[in-house]
């Protein structure tokens, strides 16, 4: 879920875990309690922790250690996957996590089986729903830390455990597509495959193989930066009945546009004030237009941090540097200066044009302020 689960202060893991996906419109949900690198390391089906023994209640804290479970900081010899930063609290299945937990021993997952568990649930849902319209949000875990793929994928990639986990993800997606084929649902099913952010090499665990591998090439930056490598991600759509196979589209869109787009596709009226930043890009999705949203704002640290604005071919980054990493060619070492890139000729964001194009910087600065003003509740 990772956008809030339960009331303020956290849910009652030993009772009803809500609000959650079902309170946001889903008829059924099978999710992680948080992310794989956080406690509690349990699955939640609808409103209940799966496999919980009432005699062994779960307690969780993100503020201080609770219970007697070993931690990555105190017992590094018990780790089968070492951490590079953070992730040194309660050890579950040989992996240090963020936060401390005690109890819930029977409910704790085994990382190696997570992909098979989620994939099995997805396949089962499709089987049960094949005779009526359905929506499946299959949030795979494979490429998120900690990456502990099933042994059958171990060593299958030349770039370490991360590559093995991507192979496992490919296999999971393949099983979903194969089932749609077997059920004769391919022509009438829209499948979208995407990611939530750009790649990053050292994100907490020693599972890469080597840190000189650059997953976002030719893009600059990684997850956590305002550069294209932070948020430009793959977006693949398959719908043989409506989308011509093998085509590409340069239209600008964001994942937050999917609610408005799906609403237009299904004839649903969005509630007043709902999905205010979502743009209907259905014509672009279906290949009927080469135009999507007009602009896009990215941020990596809340309302007070620098923002990036994409408008057409132009990319503007407010003063404050777009994230860590080397300065671009033409970029002053002073991070108090703005950055401007022409992505049509400089996708790698190597040439800062701000000093030579002050009018364009002024124009985009004003546009960003307009967007922020109209977005305030």
What pLDDT shows up at residue 118? Answer: 98
Q: What percent of the chain has pLDDT over 90?
A: 77
Chain position carrying tokens 């941020």: 299
| Structural domains in the chain plus CATH codes | 1-71+86-109 (no CATH), 113-215 (no CATH), 253-291 (no CATH), 295-375 (3.30.1120.10)
Q: Report the half-sphere exposure of 209 (CA within 13 A, side-chain side).
A: 16
Distance CA 42, CA 48 (A): 10
DSSP 98: B
Distance CA 374, CA 282 (A): 23
DSSP 214: -
- Residue 36 — very low, low, confident or very high, per pLDDT cuts 50/70/90? very high
Tokens of 57: 């209640």
Q: What is the pLDDT of residues 197-255, one digit of tens each?
A: 998 888 899 876 666 677 889 999 888 889 999 999 999 999 999 999 999 999 999 99
Q: Report the mean per-residue pLDDT for the chain.
A: 91
Distance of CA 134 to the CA centre of its chain: 22
Distance CA 76, CA 139 (A): 31
Distance CA 193, CA 32 (A): 20
pTM of the model: 0.92
In this model, does residue 195 exceed pLDDT 50?
yes
- Residue 191 — very low, low, confident or very high, per pLDDT cuts 50/70/90? very high
81 near 207, Cβ under 8 Å?
yes
What pLDDT shows up at residue 332? Answer: 46
In this model, does residue 268 exceed pLDDT 90?
yes
Q: What is the pLDDT of residues 125-175, one digit of tens each?
A: 999 999 999 999 999 999 899 999 999 999 999 888 888 999 999 999 999
Q: What is the pLDDT of residues 298-350, one digit of tens each?
A: 988 777 788 999 999 999 999 875 554 444 444 445 567 899 999 999 999 99
Q: Which of 29, 38, 82, 83 is nearest to 60 (CA)?
A: 38
Distance of CA 330 to the CA centre of its chain: 32
User: Quick one: average pLDDT of 261-267?
Assistant: 96
CA dihedral sign of residues 196, 202, 204, 210: positive
């Amino acid at each position: 879920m990772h956008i809030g689960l339960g009331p303020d202060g956290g849910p009652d893991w030993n009772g009803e875990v809500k609000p959650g996906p079902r309170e946001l419109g889903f008829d059924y949900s099978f999710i992680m309690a948080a992310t794989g690198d956080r406690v509690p390391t349990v699955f939640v089906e609808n409103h209940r922790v799966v496999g919980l023994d009432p005699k062994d209640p779960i307690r969780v804290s993100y503020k201080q250690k609770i219970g007697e479970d070993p931690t990555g900081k105190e017992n590094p010899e018990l780790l089968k996957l070492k951490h590079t930063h953070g992730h040194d609290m309660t050890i579950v299945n040989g992996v240090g996590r963020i936060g401390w937990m005690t109890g819930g021993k029977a409910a704790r997952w085994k990382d190696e089986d997570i992909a098979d568990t989620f994939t099995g649930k997805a396949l089962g849902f499709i089987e049960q729903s094949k005779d009526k319209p359905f929506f499946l949000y299959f949030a795979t875990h494979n490429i998120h830390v900690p990456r502990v793929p099933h042994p059958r994928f171990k060593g299958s990639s030349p770039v370490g455990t991360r590559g093995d986990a991507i192979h496992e993800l490919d296999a999971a997606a393949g099983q979903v597509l194969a089932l749609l084929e077997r059920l004769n649902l391919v022509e009438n099913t829209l499948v979208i495959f995407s990611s939530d952010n750009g790649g990053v090499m050292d994100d907490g665990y020693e599972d890469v193989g080597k840190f000189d591998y650059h997953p976002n090439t030719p893009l600059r930056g990684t997850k956590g930066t305002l550069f294209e490598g932070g948020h430009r991600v793959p977006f693949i759509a398959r719908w043989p009945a409506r989308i011509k196979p093998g085509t590409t589209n340069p239209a600008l869109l964001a994942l937050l546009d999917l609610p408005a787009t799906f609403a237009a596709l299904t004839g649903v009226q969005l509630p007043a004030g709902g999905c205010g930043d979502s743009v209907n890009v259905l014509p672009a999705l279906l290949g009927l237009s080469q135009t999507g949203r007009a602009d896009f704002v990215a941020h990596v640290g809340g309302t007070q941090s620098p923002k990036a604005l994409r408008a057409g071919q132009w990319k503007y980054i407010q003063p404050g540097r777009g994230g860590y990493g080397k300065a671009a060619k033409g970029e002053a070492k002073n991070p108090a200066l703005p950055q401007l890139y022409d992505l049509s000729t400089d996708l790698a964001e190597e040439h800062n044009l701000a000093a030579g194009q002050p009018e364009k910087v002024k124009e985009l600065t004003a546009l960003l302020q307009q967007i922020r003003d109209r977005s305030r509740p």
